Amino acid sequence: MSIINAKISQNRRERFKRLASTRTSEVLKKIKILSNCANRSAYDYNEDEIAKIFYAIDKAVKDSKSKFYFPNNKINFKL
């Protein structure tokens, strides 16, 4: 590997670490804020609403995770 390619690879790695750390921290903060809605004395909700919230979160996590493991797994439809 040439020196230029090594530097590019290192820069991409550094950028990934920086962005992934920041974005993960933001997601975790938002989840913590969402958990504040669990206060039954301040909010009224039912089990169906809770299930919808966590279904959406679980689906988003699975979709995002799959992009790391299968980045080019696109469904191609042809007639």
pLDDT exceeds 70 at position 1 = no
Instruction: Look at residue 78 and tell me if it is in a domain.
Output: no
Instruction: Look at residue 79 and tell me if it is in a domain.
Output: no
pLDDT exceeds 90 at position 54 = yes
Instruction: Look at residue 61 and tell me if it is in a domain.
Output: yes
Determine the Cα–Cα distance for residues 45 and 22; give it in Å rounded to an integer.
31
Domain region containing 44 = 3-69
Q: Cβ(58)–Cβ(50) under 8 Å?
A: no
Instruction: Look at residue 74 and tell me if it is in a domain.
Output: no
The pLDDT value given to residue 72: 75
pLDDT exceeds 80 at position 76 = no
Average pLDDT over residues 2-29: 90
Considering the entire predicted model, what is its pTM? 0.75
Instruction: Look at residue 77 and tell me if it is in a domain.
Output: no
Determine the Cα–Cα distance for residues 23 and 29; give it in Å rounded to an integer.
10
Domain count, the chain: 1
pLDDT exceeds 90 at position 19 = yes
Determine the Cα–Cα distance for residues 61 and 51; give it in Å rounded to an integer.
15
